[in-house]
Structure 1
């Protein structure tokens, strides 16, 4: 039975002499096994603790020698074994929680002296240097020849960069790195993202710059990335659209979409209330969604998009009189925030409700509305704006929707009054 973790052996007599422990553990490999006492020639079960400084290790007898186990924080990979002789506390930390539980169970059986034959005992021998190395937090691979083919990625990695390796898909071994916070797969040939990226529960930064991506999965937008992802770089890919539910990634602070083929931004982009940096230069954007007006950015770059010249008097009317019962009911569901789901109404109606437009008056409209486009100075949503074109402009066309003729006429009146001033 072996366990890799950080260990600090604290002598309980230190306070008697006015001394304190370091308060810091060393990386160690713990083993439980049999050892024959040279004096008595009797075999007993011992705990062997090997560190980088002491690879031969220190032995501690376990049978009837454990005074107490402290396991309050075992789910965090922490525990303490208090021995009777010598009077030490063996403090364990940074261990895998399940492995730690199994190890302590074996230590308890060894202490009781029962069922020792069934214990998975280990040889109490000196360890290799790599067995007691500190967990690796960061790994950078920028050459195909350095890519690990026969060995796994260190389980403790928090930052992983694999670039210029011509990867056509994401290595599934990367998706088992549960501590991963930053994953940089830039400058590869990746065409599709597996939905299981969403299982990386600590991921805050995902960099996919300069790949061959053609889509971004809706499943990723509904995964744990909703709660963790803050930085997303999808620049220099082949994306034409982003899913409507992309705006469920509400922790996003920095979003890079440059040099794709995007025809439009997600219509509810304004829901990304924490976003401060948005870059979508050199795409195929002709107009911005109405929800764009809700953003509060520090830096915005939309240079090199073929924005159309808006005219508020050019409009598209999709109103019917009277409004259909479906339209009235749908508006009421959205406005009153009535819960709904595919178990209550057909799936296609759920999608329509999720795609509801919002009128200037604040009410919802689905398939019956008036649509127009107006020019907005981008400084209204961002402190710093990169020029939209070579002419020095900072304005872009933004869609606007109206739920009725009354709302549209009020908008036209306000346009006329601003023109008179």
Structure 2
């Protein structure tokens, strides 16, 4: 049984002499195995700790020699083994949690004097220099021939780039890298993302540029990425839409979706209150969602989209008279900001309320409305704007909803008055 981790050995007698430990571990390889005691000519099970400074290692007898195990933080790769003789605490950290659990189980069996045949023993030999190097935090693989097929990725990785390797799916071994903060899988052939990417609890930057993605799943939007993901690059893929739940990724600062086939942006995109850099050039956007007005960006690029020319007379009417009772009730719930949820009202009504539209008068409409589009200067939502077209414009059409014929009539009147000036 072997374990790679950081180790600090604290002598419990040091405080007696007014001394303290360094408080910092060294990279080490720990082994549990048999060693012949030359004095008694008997074999005992020992713990061998090898470091870069002492590759031959120091041995500690295990049988009846462990006073206590401290395992409160074993899920974080940390534990402490307290020995009776010598009076030291062996503090372990930066270990793989599963490997650490197995190692501690073997140490417990050795302490109890279990039969050696039941123990996963190793040979107690000096280690190689590379085995006790500091853990690797960054790794870049830029060709298929360099891609590891038989060995695992270093568990300690915080930044991993795998590009130009013709991957058709995300390697599940990557998803066990719990310290990963940056994952760059750009320029591959990935078509679908596993929902388990959302289990990477530290992931803040995800680059999937230049792949074959056709969708971004709801599960990812509802995962721990909600709290960690700051930058997402989905440019040069085959996305036609983003799910409504996409706007749950509220920590996003940078979003790139250039060169896809998006026909619309998420309805509630304004909920991405921390978004500062948005690039959605070269898609199929004809109009922006009404919620787009709520964004506060530093840089915006919407070049190369087939935006329509707003015309106040060009509209879609979805109004019936009188209004259905369900519409009246739903409007009342939304306008009064009444708390609702699937435990109180049917789920389909919750979904309708989630996409409620706001009329120019400030009132809410649900499924009964008049829809048109108006022109908006993009400098209203962004400090820097890339030109929308080759004509030097920075205006784009944005959806506008009206709750009644009266509101729409007022809108037409004001539009015609502006046009006449």
TM-score, with structure 2 as normaliser = 0.89
1:129 deviates by 3.9
Distance in 1 separating the partners of 2:266 and 2:344: 26
What value does the CA root-mean-square deviation take over the aligned residues?
2.7
Instruction: Give the Cα separation in 2 of the matches to 1:366 and 1:298.
Output: 32
Write out per-residue CA displacement over residues 181-205 of structure 1, whole angstroms, 9 at most, x where no aligned residue: 2111111222222333223232211
Corresponding residue number in structure 2 for 1:399 = 399
Judge conservation of contact 1:35–1:43 (CA < 8 Å) in 2: yes
Summarize deviations over 1:195-216 as a string: whole Å, max 9, x none.
Answer: 3322323221111111222222
- Report the Cα distance in structure 2 between the residues aligned to 1:145 and 1:116, rounded to whole angstroms: 42
Per the alignment, in what secondary structure is the counterpart of residue 379 of structure 1? helix
Cα distance, 1:298 vs structure 2: 1.0
Aligned mates of 1:222, 1:6 — CA distance in 2: 35
Deviations 1:319-374 (A, max 9, x none): 21211122223334444344333996265x55433333222344432220121211
Larger mean CA deviation between 358-367 and 221-230 belongs to: 358-367
SS at match of 1:157: coil
Change in 2 beyond 3 A, CA 1:326/1:310: same
Residue 186 of structure 2 is matched in structure 1 by 186
Q: 1:322 corresponds to which residue?
A: 322
Aligned to 1:345: 346
SS in 2 for 1:286: coil
The answer for the alignment partner of 2:25 in structure 1 is 25
Name which of structure 1's ranges 206-215 and 335-344 shifts more when overlaid on structure 2: 335-344
Distance 1:188 1:105, change over 3 A: closer
Who is 2:135 aligned against?
A: 135
> Contact conserved, 1:160 with 1:180, CA < 8 A, in 2?
yes
Aligned pairs (5 A) from 1:37-48: 37-48=37-48
Distance in 2, matches of 1:395 and 1:367, equals 28
Q: How far is 1:254 from its partner?
A: 0.3
Q: Is the 8 A contact 2:69 2:80 kept in 1?
A: yes
Q: Which residue of 2 aligns with 1:367?
A: 367
Cα pair distance change 1:217/1:418, threshold 3 Å: same
List aligned pairs for 1:186-335, cutoff 5 A.
186-335=186-335
Question: How many positions carry a matched residue from both structures?
Answer: 420
Q: Helix, strand or coil for the counterpart of 1:156?
A: coil
Check whether the contact 1:109–1:116 (CA below 8 A) recurs between aligned residues. Answer: no
Q: Is the 8 A contact 2:257 2:280 kept in 1?
A: yes
Distance of 1:416 and 1:184 partners within structure 2: 51
Contact preservation (8 Å) 1:342, 1:350: no
Measured in 2, the distance between the counterparts of 1:154 and 1:409 equals: 65
| Alpha-carbon displacement from aligned partner over 1:272-311 (angstroms, at most 9, x marks no partner) | 1111100111222111110000001111111122222213
Q: Which range moved further: 266-275 or 358-367?
A: 358-367
In structure 2, the CA distance between the partners of 1:337 and 1:208, relative to structure 1 (3 Å rule), is: farther
**Deviations 1:355-405, CA, capped at 9 Å, x for gaps:** 332223444322201212111111111111112122222111111112223
Distance 1:249 1:222 in 2: 8
Q: Contact 1:360–1:407 at 8 Å: present in 2 too?
A: yes
Task: Answer whether contact 2:340 2:350 (CA < 8 A) is retained.
Answer: no
* Cα pair distance change 1:334/1:125, threshold 3 Å: farther
Q: Which residue of 2 aligns with 1:62?
A: 62
TM-score by length of 1: 0.89
Q: CA deviation at 1:265?
A: 1.1
Unaligned residue ranges in structure 2 (runs of 5+): none
The separation in 2 between residues aligned to 1:343 and 1:135, in whole angstroms, is 52
